[in-house]
């Protein structure tokens, strides 16, 4: 059963990490519906390290764009790539500082009703912002200023609120700052690399949990599934936002938030 659940969690991670719909909200529903309240699949080691599979998907899909040493790039293109990485690192500073300070404290608010509230509020924001969305003034990474990058990083800090969604907060922030949907989604992908890798690494080296051989196998399978599903999810989102807005995700968040509230009000 742990193996089957790990595969399902890999699917959930691969979808919800990149779509702005909150991985936390889906995890809590999954754990309730599968009666998963303890064991290896609920440990921080599993829930955070599984994210490495999702990160590798971004590295695979955008390898050339992310690689400043690519021999096929011109001198200017290599310089632009380094500039992009500097902007990503600067954007991650607020989350690294504030997130580390408040992470343990915010875990106290990881309740169904806080998660539901965040799902619904951000769902409404997606719809409202899209209804008033003007033509984007920033459509390319090289047009993104350092000031805008760090402001997007401040929005990313909001993702420490359970149910907010890291991708959701950064995409909303980027759009409010004048970025196009495509750029907002892409920059959100890139921001995830240092943030998720850093958190996963810290959980591995600071956690006292000692995994067995079978638990290592379960984790690797879940990561592999997250990797495959992430590639599909990222391709879907990048193609979707070229012709559509984010309102459908806003509506989905509102529905999911209501379902969680009703479930825990009636059955708990």
pLDDT digits (tens, 9 = 90+) for 85-143: 999 999 999 888 887 788 777 777 888 889 999 999 999 999 999 998 888 899 999 89
Question: CA-CA distances (angstroms) from residue 246 to 5, 51, 88, 117, 160?
Answer: 30, 24, 23, 19, 21
User: Band of the pLDDT at 145, cuts 50, 70, 90?
Assistant: very high
Q: What is the pLDDT of residue 202?
A: 75
The tens digit of pLDDT for each residue in 216-247 reads 999 999 999 999 999 999 999 999 999 999 99
Q: What is the pLDDT of residue 58?
A: 95
Rounded to the nearest 5°, which phi and psi values hold at 138?
Answer: -125, 115
CA angle, 170 then 87 then 91, to 5°: 40
Confidence check: pLDDT of 180 > 90:
yes
Question: CA-CA distances (angstroms) from residue 204 to 173, 194, 207, 221?
Answer: 30, 15, 6, 17
8 A C-beta contact, residue 129 and residue 258: no
Against a cut of 0.85, is the pTM above it?
Answer: yes
Q: Locate the domains of the chain by residue range.
A: 2-210+233-266
Taking residues 15-30, report their average pLDDT: 87
**Bigger pLDDT: 219 or 37?**
219
C-alpha torsion 106→50→6→34, nearest 10: 10
User: Band of the pLDDT at 41, cuts 50, 70, 90?
Assistant: confident
User: Band of the pLDDT at 155, cuts 50, 70, 90?
Assistant: very high
Mean pLDDT of the chain: 89
Closest CA to 149 of 185, 125, 180, 173: 173
**Sequential DSSP letters for 198-228:** HHHHHHHHH------HHHHHHHHHHHHHHHH
User: Band of the pLDDT at 46, cuts 50, 70, 90?
Assistant: confident
Alpha carbon of residue 164 to chain centroid: 10
Confidence check: pLDDT of 83 > 90:
yes
């Amino acid at each position: 059963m742990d193996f089957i659940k790990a595969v399902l969690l890999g699917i959930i991670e691969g979808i919800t990490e990149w779509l702005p719909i909150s991985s936390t909200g889906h995890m809590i529903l999954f754990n309730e519906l599968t009666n998963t309240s303890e064991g290896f699949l609920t440990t921080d080691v599993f829930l955070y390290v599984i994210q490495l599979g999702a990160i590798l998907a971004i590295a695979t899909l955008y390898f050339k764009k992310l690689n400043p040493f690519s021999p096929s790039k011109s001198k200017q293109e290599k310089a632009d790539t380094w500039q992009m990485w500097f902007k990503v690192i600067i954007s991650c500073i607020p989350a690294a500082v504030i997130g580390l300070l408040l992470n343990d404290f915010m875990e106290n608010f990881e309740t169904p009703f806080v998660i539901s509230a965040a799902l619904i509020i951000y769902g409404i924001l997606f719809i409202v912002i899209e209804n008033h969305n003007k033509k984007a003034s920033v459509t390319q990474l090289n047009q993104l200023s350092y000031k805008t990058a760090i402001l997007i990083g401040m929005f990313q800090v909001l993702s420490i609120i359970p149910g907010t969604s890291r991708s959701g907060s950064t995409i909303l922030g980027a759009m409010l700052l004048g970025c196009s949907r495509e750029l907002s989604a892409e920059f959100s992908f890139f921001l995830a690399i240092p943030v998720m890798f850093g958190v996963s690494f810290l959980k591995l080296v600071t956690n006292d949990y000692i995994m067995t051989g079978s638990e290592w196998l379960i984790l690797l399978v879940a990561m592999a599934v997250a990797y495959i599903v992430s590639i599909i999810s990222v391709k879907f989102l990048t193609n979707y936002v070229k012709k559509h807005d984010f309102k459908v995700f806003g509506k989905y968040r509102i529905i999911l938030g209501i379902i969680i509230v009703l479930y825990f009000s009636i059955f708990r």
